[in-house]
Structure formats: C-alpha cells, structure tokens
Amino acid sequence: MMESIIPLLAVGELFPRGITPYLLGGLLVGLGAAIIYLATGIIAGASTFLESTLSYVSDVPRFNRFKYVQSRGWRLVFTAGIISGAAIWGLVLHPGIWTTDVQWWRLLGGGFLVGVGTRLGKGCTSGHGVCGVGSLSNTSLVNVATFLVVAIGTAQLVQALGVSP
Amino acid sequence: MAETERSPWFLPVIYVGGLVFGLGLAISGMARPEVVLDFLQFEDFGLLFVMGGAAVVTGVTFAIATRSLNRAPLTGSEYTRRLKDFDRNVLVGGGIFGVGWGLSGICPGAAYASIGIGNYPILWAIVGMFLGAYAQGYWRTLRAGDAADGVESTAD
C-alpha cells in the first residue's frame, strides 16, 4: 500500500495543480501555431510583433525593414487572436477578472529585459521554445537552454532576497 | 507573399490560429506570472508539459508538411523549418530574456493572453517590452548604421 502511495505523493508535489491543464494548454498552443503554418507556411512567433508594431510609430530603420512592415498587419491580427482566445477562458471557462499580485516594478523591469532579450536573441518562448525546438534547431535549443537556466537562477535569487510575489 | 497574392482567408485563419494559441496559453496558466514563477522556483513543474506538448505538435506538423505537402494553400509559400543562424546574440539575448522572464514571470505571447483574462497590471510588462524592443532597435541601428540594415538575420 505505502509503496504505491509514495510515488503518487511525489508526483503530486512536482505538479500541485495536476498536469491536465498544462498538457491541454500546450497542445492548443501547438495547434494554433500548426493551423497558421499549414494554411500559410508562416512560422509565427509572438515577439516580432513588438518590433513590427513599432514601425507604425517610429522612423528607426531597423523597425522599418521590409520584413517587418510587410508582416505588421497580420501580426496585429495574430495578437488580437491571442487576446481573444484568452478572453474565452476569462469569460466562459473561468468567468471573472484575474489580476496578478506580482509587483509592478518586476513586470516593468522584467518586461523591458524581455523586450531587449527576445529581439536580440532572435525569438522568445514561442519562436525558439515551441517552433524552434519543434524544428530541432540547434540555435533554438541553445537559446532555450540559456534562458531557462538564467530565468531559474534569477527567480530563485529574487525569491531568496525576500521579494514576494 | 505579396499582399495581392493573399487569399481572403489569410487574415481570418491568422486570427483563428491566434485564438487557439491564446486559449492554450490561458488554460495552461502561462498567462498568469505566478504560475511561471512557481515553475522557475521549482514549486510546480507543469510548464514542462506546456512547452513540451506544444513543441511536439509543431514538430510533427513541420515534419509532415516539409516532407509530404506541397505549398501552403493561402500564400503559395514553401513549408520550411524554423532554422536561425547561431551567433553571439543568441546567447546574449537568451541570457537577457532569461533575467527578464525570471524577474517578471512573463513572456511576450503570455503577456498578450494575460490582457484577455483581464489582468490589467500586465500592461506594465507590455509597456516594458515595447520600451525594451525600442531600446535594442535604436541602439543597434546607431551601432550598425544603415549599411548593415537587412543583412543581419532576425527573429520572429
């Protein structure tokens, strides 16, 4: 009896929320990318939106390269779709407004570094993490390993300094 | 992929793909920074199933399409894999992104999804991301000059 319970307890500690929402959500993220890919051949990532959208308001040549200006329209639509899909969860599956308790300076400062790092590093968790890994790209695997290790170190350091959340 | 060659279904399909993508981010909890921070602090390893599950679906899709399918119906584009050149920026950028992700618990796609679940404080992160993207673009343009424009490869 105990022998069969102990591994279950261990799994429960690793996954206190279970694994179903994670796996289901991950499969849907992949499916969304697959729908766009199969229909258009486009491998969509989320962070290029930042630079392509800046081309609407900035004259900086980097943002106004053809590849950004030419894709900025559909990237707006892609982002609108992401917001809408999440709104289905917020309106239907889990009604009510959910807000984070993570402090504003962590969001602003962390967001700034995410903006710099994803653009400098050629992609983010969707571009490298999902599509690049799905392509078995060595560049993406190295990038993902780098950001995972650094993020784990950062989050644990911030926690150790007593910042919560 | 010029605008004129696009099917009228192009934008609707992009929207639907984004919708499924965003629904997945919300269901998986990635739209909530706390869930991501729980993973990074080794309190809940569920994120591995999100990234792994998504990468398996895209991996199988890419493998089948590049081998067996001809051209994408709405654009006429060839099916390719996502292969970017490796250089120092991949490491430096990944490291900077890692610090930001570990500090905030939020990445770009998840931040957009977070708006959809009503998490208005996430606007701090989105403002930060645009400022960060602007800062690196401004700095790189200054540094490289127009000569390098279009030569270096970039990201999605």
Of B77, B120, B124, the CB nearest to A41: B77
Chain B contact present for A81, CB below 8 A: yes
| pLDDT, tens digit, 9 for 90 and up, residues A31-62 | 999 999 999 999 999 999 999 999 999 999 99
What are the sequence ranges of the domains in chain A? Answer: 100-165
Q: How far is CA A88 from the centre of its chain?
A: 18
| pLDDT, tens digit, 9 for 90 and up, residues A3-20 | 566 666 677 789 999 999
For B111, the token pair is 């931040």
Instruction: Name every residue whose Cβ is closer than 8 Å to that of residue B109 and which is 6 or more positions away in sequence.
Output: A46, A47, A82, A124, A125, A126, B21, B22, B25, B30
Q: What percent of chain A has pLDDT over 90?
A: 92
CB-CB under 8 Å, A133 with B59: yes
Mean pLDDT (chain A) is 94
Task: Please give the average per-residue pLDDT across B129-154, as a whole number.
Answer: 78
> Does residue B147 surpass a pLDDT of 80?
no
Taking only Cα atoms into account, the Rg of chain B, rounded to an integer number of angstroms, comes to 18
More confident residue, B6 or B114: B114
Q: How far is CA B41 from the centre of its chain?
A: 23
For B115, the token pair is 């708006």
Of B85, B92, B124, the CB nearest to A104: B124
Q: Which residue(s) pair with B78 in the sheet?
A: B71
Chain A contact present for B64, CB below 8 A: no
Q: What percent of chain A has pLDDT over 70?
A: 95
**∠ at Cα B91 (A137, A108), nearest 5°?**
110
Find, among B109, B10, B17, the residue nearest to A28 by Cα. B17
Find, among B109, B96, B108, the residue nearest to A33 by Cα. B109
